[in-house]
Amino acid sequence: MSTQVEPLATTLPARYYTDPEIFRDELERFYCESWVCAGRADQIANPGDYFLREVAGESIIVTRDNVTGDNDQAVRGFYNVCRHRGTRMVTSAEGKFSGRIQCGYHGWTYGLDGRLIGAPHMEEGSGFCREDYPLNKVQAAVWDGNIFINLGPQAGPLEKQLADLPQKFAPWRMQDLRLHKRIVYDVKANWKLVVLNYNECLHCPVLHPALNRLTNYLGADNEQPQSTYIGGAMGFRGGAETMSLDGKRRRDYLPGLNDEERQKVCYYCIFPNFLLSLHPDYMMTATLWPKAVDRTEIIAEWHFHPAEMSKPDFEANDAIDFWDLTNKEDWKICELSQAGIQSRAYRPGPYSNRETLLHAFDQMVLAREREAKKRDGR
């Protein structure tokens, strides 16, 4: 079911894709003051496990503290900056702390909760208190195995941003799934062009002949756009049972799904950076990491059920290769969009009825800009 666009809704002016100042503002608004999906809880299964994530130029340590009780409460985020002379402490993209985080310059040492527990030769000076120099914290929270972080000092709860999604996607039991494959793409396009590309299948017949055999591009069942996410579901055609090179399903259905949920793929973009593609038998996620007004790093991951992964004949390449091919087609066309929009000849062009989610996303972008300007008195 597609919603009617009002006559001649158009794409945004070029500056939203080319102006470094708007980009910097959007980084603040969308990537520093919102919850962004940083990765998966199973990447840091045990206390001291960590990974680094770069958000808006900031290196963030995501790690797991020692806590009793609810495991999701143990996930922590810290700026990767020593409080002594500002040194970046951690350089490996992932690893395990042996109970403490130590700076390699002068040996300042922090607990997994960020407290400063050692500062060689600082004792002698007067006026120095260890308690004044904990690591700078970043808010962290977990939804069904997906870790979100928020750099904003006034971060509201993640639940508000997720709205009804936890209930909607509970049957997929994302917290049970495990990472099998990660591919990182470097895309020379503004992050919003990637979102626009993800949220319509009008381009599928022209751009994705392989995908188009498995799914009816006119059959997207889009939800009414929400203020923090957009998305919808698409069914299969021609006997396909999942998105794979041949449409065949080589893994059991995910355990919690009913008949209706087994017949579709849910494609949701949870603003600003989480592209969630829930398949009957696996989950693909993509997180967007804007590097410049015209460059975005995309981390795509394929997650499967551990029961399947432990089978001797477990296969995943049908799903990975299919989407890797499709992703590359998409990123290439995003780069061409970026290149064209940079032209002086570009003018906002008309959206069709098949691009209503994109118009909704654009309107959200403009609304957030208006709010920010109002707040800042601009």
According to CB under 8 A, which one of 170, 206, 366, 367 is a site residue for its own copies? Answer: 206
Residue 256 near its own copies by CB under 8 A: no
Nearest to 30 by CA among 276, 377, 364, 300: 364
According to CB under 8 A, which one of 3, 71, 91, 317 is a site residue for its own copies? Answer: 91
Cβ proximity to its own copies: between 20 and 57 the closer is 57
- 356-375 vs 191-198: helix axis angle to the nearest 10? 150
Map residues 137-176 to x or -, x wherever contact with its own copies holds by CB under 8 A: ----------------------------------------
Residue 69 near its own copies by CB under 8 A: no
Residue 239 near its own copies by CB under 8 A: no
Return the SS3 of 147: strand
The least CB distance from residue 294 to its own copies, in Å, is 13
Residue type, 172: W
Site for its own copies in 327-346 (CB under 8 A): 333, 336-337, 339-346
Beta-bridge mates of residue 185? 298
Cβ proximity to its own copies: between 225 and 247 the closer is 225
According to CB under 8 A, which one of 122, 163, 240, 309 is a site residue for its own copies? Answer: 122
The least CB distance from residue 196 to its own copies, in Å, is 8
Structure token digits, residue 267: 């494609």
Binding residues for its own copies, total number by CB under 8 A: 57
Alpha helices by DSSP H, the chain: 15-18, 20-26, 158-162, 165-168, 191-198, 204-207, 209-212, 306-309, 317-341, 356-375
Site for its own copies in 40-59 (CB under 8 A): 57-59
Residue 68 near its own copies by CB under 8 A: no
Residue 92 near its own copies by CB under 8 A: no
Question: What does the alpha-carbon distance between residue 41 and residue 18 come to, in Å, rounded to a whole number?
Answer: 35
Structure token digits, residue 154: 């006034």
According to CB under 8 A, which one of 33, 47, 67, 87 is a site residue for its own copies? Answer: 87
Residue 3 near its own copies by CB under 8 A: no
Q: How far is CA 85 from CA 82, 103, 133, 247, in A?
A: 6, 10, 11, 55
Alpha helices by DSSP H, 149-264: 158-162, 165-168, 191-198, 204-207, 209-212
The burial of 370, by beta-carbon neighbours within 10 Å (0-12 exposed, 13-18 middle, 19 or more buried), is given as exposed
Q: Which residues bind its own copies (CB under 8 A)?
A: 5, 7-8, 11, 14, 57-59, 79-89, 91, 104-107, 120-122, 124-128, 133, 136, 196, 202-203, 205-207, 333, 336-337, 339-347, 349-350, 352-354
